[in-house]
Amino acid sequence: MMNKNRPVIARAHTNIALVKYWGKQNENLIIPQNDSLSLTLDQFYTDTTVTFDPTLTADAVLIDNEVAQGSDYQRVVDFLDIVRQKAQTPDRFFNVNSVNHVPTAAGFASSASAFAALAAAASRAADLKLDLTELSRLARRGSGSASRSIFAGFVQWHTGNDDETSYAEQYASAADWDIGVIALTLQKSRKKVSSRQGMQLSVTTSPFYSEWIKLANSDIEQIKQAIDQHDFTTVGHISETNALRMHALTLSADPGFIYFTGQTIEMINEIRQLRKMGIECYATIDAGPNVKVLCQKENASKIMTHFNQLLGSENVIYTTPGSGIEYLEK
Ligand code: PMV
């Protein structure tokens, strides 16, 4: 039985990968080449309302109060097709209203929180009763990193080798961790090489790709040990090294491509300079030019003051660890 006309609202937070996912072994199912490990963040989230509407003949999708069109619309419909298939209701259509509280200024991709929230709201609106592992698998089909946004704290996405075995789960809570992330915005526009394209090029043409897999696997083991020991220095060191190695795959692809701008490099140098001065912080960078700074709460205001002066306070946003998927009542 369908949950007729009852809106289901879900909230998911975005996450930052400390050991990155970069490359797929299965494009269609979004099975990655390596395990990744992230931290879910508090300040940035997506609220998505999904309502089954028997009068619709196609899905109706609003994203940030605008009617979704073109490839943005198609991506949501393709995802809802998976939900319809699972629920065995091919002719049910949904109203989707998705609001991102991920300031464009933060330079975070909203796809992780967006598809995690959509997976939770749409599956419930379709009367599918999924546990968190099943939700993670479903979110993965929308965007790989969304599989991790189902959970709070430090989250590991297991590579697996098929739909069943590729899912995320919490590795450790971050509730008792003294850790924060400062997002530095250098550019707000959409990236030129999508992560999908970037991964494909890296997997098929970078001569370093097989090394990346070996290193990422050992990074996962080492960062988990460091998390167990509450060792911020090692967590930060592995995160920065791993991010730069991911970007080395883009530089070494053919044709090569670069997500960094000159300012990205300047910010990495600033972070290293702060470290030399005894203020511990580490850089991580996703598929774009913006830099995230990992730090301990006690140093956050000093680091923010430094970057406020360089970039303006509107381009410097602080966030702490966040919660996993939740359903909201209207
Ligand atoms: O989930 P996607 O397709 O947006 O890819 C995410 C890729 C990175 O953000 C660069 C790394 C990661 O693990 O989140």
Q: CB of 22 within 8 A of CB of 249?
A: yes
Strand, helix or coil for residue 169: strand
For ligand 1, say whether the CB of 253 is within 6 Å of any of its atoms. no
Helix axes 132-142, 70-87, angle to 10 degrees: 150
pLDDT tens string 17-58 = 999 999 999 999 999 999 999 999 999 999 999 999 999 999
For ligand 1, say whether the CB of 35 is within 6 Å of any of its atoms. no
Report domain extents, the chain: 8-175, 180-319
Q: What is the CATH number of domain 180-319?
A: 3.30.70.890
> How high is the pLDDT of residue 39?
98
Ligand 1 pocket test, candidate residues 14, 18, 21, most atoms within 8 A of CB: 21
pLDDT tens string 117-174 = 999 999 999 999 999 999 999 999 999 999 999 999 999 999 999 999 999 999 999 9
Q: Select the CATH number that applies to the domain covering 8-175 from these four: 3.30.420.40, 3.30.230.10, 3.40.50.2300, 3.20.20.370.
A: 3.30.230.10
Q: Which of 155, 121, 156, 161 is nearest to 138 (CA)?
A: 121
* Predicted ipTM of the assembly: 0.98
Overall residue count recorded for the chain in this entry: 330
pLDDT tens string 262-307 = 999 999 999 999 999 999 999 999 999 999 999 999 999 999 999 9
Residue 209 to residue 91: CA distance in whole angstroms: 43
Write down the pTM of the prediction: 0.96
The alpha carbons of the chain give a radius of gyration, in whole angstroms, of 19
Residue 121 to residue 47: CA distance in whole angstroms: 9
Spacing, Cα 49 to ligand 1 middle (Å): 24
Residue 102 to residue 43: CA distance in whole angstroms: 8
